[in-house]
Amino acid sequence: MNPDTDLAPAVESILEAARERTGGDEVVDVDARSLPDAIAQAEADDRVPVIAEVKPTSPTSDGTRDDDPVELAEAMVAGGATAISVLTEPSHFGGSPEALTRIREAVDVPVLRKDFVLREKQLDTVEADLLLLIVRFLETDALEELIGAARERGFQPLVEVHDRSELEAALEVGADIIGVNNRDLARLEVDLETFESVAPHAPDEVTLIAESGVSSPADVRRMREAGADALLVGSAIMDHGAADSDVTENTRRLVSAETEDET
């Protein structure tokens, strides 16, 4: 939607690589696990719905975790994660499509392919339950086509926005799962006020996800009070600076933010 000016160099480089990437050879059809159903189940169990992210490293993280991605995902589910997000980009996030495939085979919760998808052909790479589509990188027509093509193949599109005008663009083309990214892609800074300013403009029927920058139970409560149906959390769970940090416990701490008094 917006021009690619003013993007952080790491984001420009990921975008450039995504533009050159072709898709897979076979059309992928998926029998998706429903994110709204998984969120409803978490609420029924008194768990805050947390989409925990397998993110071995990132342009803003203070280290790299070399753990097996399947073990990380299983540890997150053991901690009560509602869904798993998998960064599949190799150069800046240390991910891979193969890791996503292995994770989806190992866990029974919905799995999000966290990637820059720009063209329909790129849908045919890997089976996932949810696909990320970022409004900033797509003209409205292309976004609409990709949402339609993703749904035809069974994927649930998670449409990512960063401000109110992007939210309106997402709603205009029928997005029903919307992530508000608190990280701006120009300076890579996170500000939880982003979600707070955008969320009041989303209709109730949309599944609304607060993405990035959630690092404590207090942040979880803040985002929930602002209207988040679910939270997407990477860094606080991966805890890159501490290689032996307990991913299950880090997930559990956020998942239980509404039932335990921790700050």
Ligand X SMILES: O=C(O)c1ccccc1NCC(=O)[C@H](O)[C@H](O)COP(=O)(O)O
Active site residues: 53, 55, 114, 160, 181, 211-212
Instruction: Please answer whether residues 117 and 123 qualify as being in contact, where contact means their C-beta atoms are separated by less than 8 angstroms.
Output: yes
Of 82, 194, 207, 235, the residue at the interface with ligand X (CB under 6 A) is 235
Pick the piece of the chain touching ligand X (CB under 6 A) from 145-153, 183-191, 194-202, 255-263: 183-191
The secondary element (H helix, E strand) that includes residue 221 is: helix 217-225
Six token digits for residue 46: 């008194």
Using rule CB under 6 A, residue 156 touches ligand X: no
Helix (H) or strand (E) holding 233: strand 230-233
Find the shortest distance in angstroms from Cβ 10 to ligand X: 5
Q: Which of residues 40-59 bind ligand X (CB under 6 A)?
A: 53, 55, 58-59
User: Which residues touch 5 (CB under 8 Å, ≥6 apart)?
Assistant: none
Distance of CA 193 to the CA centre of its chain: 18
Among 100, 158, 167, 232, the residue binding ligand X under the rule CB under 6 A is: 232
**Segment interacting with ligand X, rule: CB under 6 A, options 42-50, 74-82, 137-145, 234-242:** 234-242
Size of the site for ligand X (CB under 6 A): 21
Give the type of residue at 191.
D
Residues facing 76 on adjacent strands: none
Q: Is residue 5 packed enough to be buried (19+ CB in 10 Å), middle (13-18) or exposed (0-12)?
A: exposed
Nearer to ligand X by C-beta: 152 or 193?
193
Contact between 213 and ligand X by CB under 6 A: the answer reads yes
* Distance of alpha carbon 175 from the chain centroid: 15
Query: Least Å distance between CB 212 and ligand X?
Result: 4
In 3D, which of 136, 138, 231, 116 has the Cα closest to residue 186?
A: 136
Nearer to ligand X, 4 or 152 (CB): 4
241 near ligand X, rule: CB under 6 A: no
In the set 88, 194, 207, 212, which binds ligand X (CB under 6 A)?
212
Stretch that binds ligand X, among 40-48, 205-213, 242-250, 251-259 (CB under 6 A): 205-213
From 99, 180, 220, 233, residue interacting with ligand X (rule: CB under 6 A): 233
Which residue, 206 or 236, is less far from ligand X as judged by CB? 236
When computed from its CA atoms, the radius of gyration of the chain, rounded to whole angstroms, is 17
Q: What letter represents residue 54's amino acid?
A: V
The minimum distance between CB 58 and ligand X, in angstroms, equals 4
Closest residue by Cα to residue 112 from 62, 71, 158: 158
Is residue 212 a contact partner of residue 30, using CB atoms and an 8 Å limit? no
Residue 60 in contact with ligand X, rule: CB under 6 A: yes
Q: Which residues bind ligand X (CB under 6 A)?
A: 10-11, 53, 55, 58-60, 181, 183, 185, 188, 190, 211-214, 232-236
